[in-house]
Structure 1
């Protein structure tokens, strides 16, 4: 009796691999986010130091909010940083991220920790950095970050 024409037996691993479709980095990234009140997209993956980390293609480790920004808005110019306008480190919502210089990022940090020198506010506003009016009111009342 000939076995020609009959299906050859396959291993369990081969069957599993053929059924499992590799997800794109964007699909894997979306699966690791959750939309929270306030429209933050919270990173659910690894967060050493508070900032999300994401394995791109299984071997290259990238910072989650930088990946989100680049996917939505394009590359980040050399030497610039990403600031979380919402002040939530694990947020990866591109609408909550802005490109800033290291100096601008330092000014924003000073504002958010309640630096009492008003020139910090003036400098940030002159440089076109997003500063919420609520922040200014909290600053005037002498409150410090975090305000929530």
Structure 2
């Protein structure tokens, strides 16, 4: 998201108009459009962007490269920059597990024994968990060989 000073002011005003502060929790609750997972979204330059990411960029600054924003309050509609923490995807996943508990997330290796390290782990789309890169590469190789044989 790159915006000039005037565009940023306009975006800040649009953003503020879509937030309601919960006086009990301190969460800035997103009152406008949400995606299929319940995260707030706002159009920036004609494309939908997650509202909590826009909040961080407007009120804190750029999200550090390679990091994602973790909702410390565990409320996905919350866009308060005070409730967000830039962390690695791995740390974000670990925190989610600690908060909600999920047996697969506690596993340290795939079903074939390959370790879930930062370099060997890919995160599947739409929150569907982790994928072992070694196993995925082997499956792709078998698929290509089968296609050639056919």
TM-score range, shorter chain: 0.5 to 0.7
The within-5 A match list for 1:8-87 is: 24-36=10-22, 37-48=24-35, 49-57=37-45, 59-87=46-74
CA distance in 2: counterparts of 1:88 and 1:43, whole angstroms? 10
**In structure 2, C-alpha distance between the alignment counterparts of 1:89 and 1:51, rounded to whole Å:** 5
Deviation at 1:64, TM superposition (A): 0.1
- Structure 1 residue 77: Cα displacement: 1.6
**Which of the residues 67, 79, 84 maps onto 1:92?**
79
3-state SS of 1:62 partner: strand
Larger RCO, structures 1/2 (Cα 8 Å, 6+ apart): 1
Structure 2 residue ranges without an equivalent (≥5): 1-8, 107-150
Q: How many residues align?
A: 95
Cα distance in 1 for partners of 2:58, 2:83 equals 14
Q: TM-score, normalised by structure 1?
A: 0.59
Partner Cα distance (1:43, 1:26) in 2: 14
TM-score (structure 2 length as normaliser): 0.59
Segments of structure 1 that go 5 or more residues without pairing to the other structure are 1-22, 120-148
Report the RMSD for the aligned CA atoms in angstroms: 2.0
The runs of 4+ residues in structure 1 deviating greater than 3 Å are none
**SS of 2:65 mapped into structure 1:** coil
* Correspondence for 1:114: 101
